[in-house]
Amino acid sequence: MSSGTKYIFVTGGVTSSLGKGIISASLGKLLQARGFTVTIQKFDPYINIDPGTLNPYEHGECYVTDDGAETDLDLGHYERFLNVRTSQANNVTTGRIYNNVITKERKGEYLGKTVQVVPHITDEIKRNMFLLGETGQYDFIITEIGGSVGDIESLPFVEAVRQVRWDLGSNNALVIHLTLIPYLSAAKELKTKPTQHSVKELLSYGIQPDILVCRTEHPLSMEIRKKLALFCNVNLNSVIEAIDADTIYDVPLLMKKEKLDERVLAKLKMTTKHEPDLEQWKIFLGKLKNPLNEVTIGLVGKYVSLPDAYKSIAEAFIHAGSQNDCKVNLKWISSEDIHKDTVETIIGSLDAVLVAPGFGERGLEGKIEAIKYVREHKIPFLGICLGMQCAVVEFARNVLHLDASTTELNPKTKHPVIDMMEEQKKITNKGGTMRLGSYDCKIKKGSKAHHIYGDTLIQERHRHRYEFNNKYLEQMEEAGLKGTGVNPESGLIEIVELKDHPWFVGVQFHPELKSTVLSPHPLFVKFVAAAMEYKGK
Ligand code: GLN
């Protein structure tokens, strides 16, 4: 472990979905705003090697990092808050830990020993907990432990936290426990008992939390704070209120008001460099909360009943909206609802349409129908990944009059305008086998993409198996659908845009993954601006 690096662990109790990711990201932001270097990592107790194979309905979006890791959506929050890139090392699951240990065992690296949860699994967890710290780049490593304390699955992680804290001592490692203080409306009272039980549970594993962060719908009175402090053995000033916020982007400021960062620094015996500099953050929030304009943008997708499935897209619109002083109302539209008879009613009144990423689905025809409508009616359009592929299929069918499709939907189509790459055809494993991570994209001078990015060489992240089929490029370009972004090594088309349309762009990559509070993504910024212009007409 790196000397000087401080370790902060964030556990959760009482229920899941309390927002450990947002609390971790907010604390990270405050420390960073004081001039410290920070990264955040998440340890997830499930057996999948990574969330790449998980259904978004169950687990929300799969967030892809520059190095091609398929990770938990909380890493998206870490990047959006800190504006610092994460990588595979920032997300580790039980599956990966066991996989590493079993691989070592097969190589004979345990020298005849019985391989056990303690110490072998816990040692492997600890090794991973220290990986980023050992680079020497960080003053603080914040480690979020997925799940809730008391789950069978999270036990080895909790034990590893106990050991790290013991090994490093209380000046170098601390534990923040995030918990829920429920409000009983009949009694008109906030209740501390679930938190007391949750802390007892942690104590039974040998961990005394240093700080309690309490999710609550109502302010915590001094009486409640005293009660929590007394029964959970924490200092009164280490009972931190985390009241429900209008936006997740308020949370760093709320945590600052509660002095979470100051408590952390004091407990870890760090002298503070300066007060948090949150000027830029406040400007972003000010613009977000005082919009001068408003647009309604349709998000056509498959998983619209669970907005977490498109988390990064929704957040990218918040960043881009603020930049444009514009409130973006996202209208979630299930592609399966769109057909010839409904398209006008559903799409007709929107100021812009985004067709979302997705995999092998029935709703594809609805997406194509929506794209036909926005192409013909000159409504601003952004297609991401599958959305771009649908735009290509739509153009081939309705402009080139080809009996075309993507081989994902119809493997026997006469005109496979979107097809699987040769390398992909040989792959049978599902996990981690797509075209993943950051790739270069060369942009044609004078194109809309060039105007948007203000650059001719960009890097964007990918997660897909199918590609634009270059056999059709010439035909498409002649008819007005231009390939304006190309991978310089493989020649694969990464961006398409329509001539004679005010704003029609399809991208094979996922721009939403790189949008952050301090650098909103140009594609989203310009797309929102196009929606404002369309509305103003
Ligand atoms: N299903 C498509 C592919 O694999 C698109 C994937 C996506 O939208 N992320 O190429």
Which DSSP string corresponds to 336-378? GG--TTTHHHHHTT-SEEEEPP--S-TTHHHHHHHHHHHHHTT
Active site residue 377: no
How far from the centroid of its chain's Cα atoms is residue 313's Cα? 9
CB atoms near residue 27 (< 10 Å):
29
Q: State the sign of the Cα–Cα–Cα–Cα dihedral 307, 310, 313, 319.
A: positive
Name the DSSP class of 146.
P
Q: Per residue in 100-138, pLDDT tens?
A: 999 999 999 999 999 999 999 999 999 999 999 999 999
**To 5 degrees, how large is the angle CA 333–CA 337–CA 341?**
120
**To 5 degrees, how large is the angle CA 524–CA 527–CA 531?**
135
Tell me the one-letter amino acid at 529.
A
Q: Residue 236: which residues within 8 A CB-CB, separation 6 or more?
A: 225, 226, 229
Q: What is the pLDDT of residue 301?
A: 92
Q: Is the CB of residue 311 below 6 angstroms from any atom belonging to ligand 1?
A: no
Residue among 337, 333, 379, 327 nearest 356 (CA):
333
Instruction: Give me ligand 1 centre to Cα 351, in Å.
Output: 26
Could you give phi then psi for residue 366, rounded to 5 degrees?
-65, -40
Q: What is the pLDDT of residue 360?
A: 79
Q: Is the CB of residue 464 below 6 angstroms from any atom belonging to ligand 1?
A: yes
**Residue position matching structure tokens 């609550």:** 216
Among protein residues, the one whose CA lies closest to atom 8 of ligand 1: 357
Q: How far is CA 478 from CA 69, 159, 395, 475, 497, in A?
A: 38, 63, 12, 5, 13
Identify whether the C-beta of residue 70 lies closer than 8 Å to the C-beta of residue 463. Answer: yes
Instruction: Give me ligand 1 centre to Cα 358, in Å.
Output: 5
Identify whether the C-beta of residue 47 lies closer than 8 Å to the C-beta of residue 94. Answer: yes
Q: Is the CB of residue 385 below 6 angstroms from any atom belonging to ligand 1?
A: yes
Q: What is the pLDDT of residue 1?
A: 42
Residue among 345, 313, 286 nearest 527 (CA):
313
Q: Which tokens in the block code for residue 356?
A: 């979302």
Active site residue 214: no
How far from the centroid of its chain's Cα atoms is residue 122's Cα? 27
Name the DSSP class of 134.
G
**To 5 degrees, how large is the angle CA 205–CA 209–CA 213?**
130
Identify whether the C-beta of residue 511 lies closer than 8 Å to the C-beta of residue 388. Answer: no
Q: What is the pLDDT of residue 3?
A: 62
List, in sequence order, every residue forming a beta bridge with 144; answer none if it has no partner.
10, 42
Q: How far apart are CA 203 and CA 195, in angstroms?
A: 12
Q: Is the CB of residue 466 below 6 angstroms from any atom belonging to ligand 1?
A: yes
Q: Is the CB of residue 358 below 6 angstroms from any atom belonging to ligand 1?
A: yes
Q: Residue 22: which residues within 8 A CB-CB, separation 6 or more?
A: 77, 248, 251
Instruction: Give me ligand 1 centre to Cα 387, in Å.
Output: 9
Q: What is the pLDDT of residue 102?
A: 97
List, in sequence order, every residue forming a beta bridge with 353; answer none if it has no partner.
298, 381
Stretches where the chain sits below pLDDT 70 are 1-3, 361, 432
Q: Is the CB of residue 436 below 6 angstroms from any atom belonging to ligand 1?
A: no
Active site residue 385: yes
Please report which helix (H) or strand (E) contains residue 104, including its range: helix 94-106
Instruction: Choose the residue to mutate in 55, 461, 463 for probing ligand 1, maximizing ligand atoms within 8 Å of C-beta.
Output: 463
3-class state of residue 30 by DSSP: helix
- The atom number, within ligand 1, closest to the CA of 408 reads 1
Instruction: Give me ligand 1 centre to Cα 174, in Å.
Output: 41
Q: How far apart are CA 54 and CA 62, in angstroms?
A: 8
Instruction: Choose the residue to mutate in 335, 385, 433 for probing ligand 1, maximizing ligand atoms within 8 Å of C-beta.
Output: 385
**Pairing mode, if any, of strands 404-406 and 415-420?**
parallel
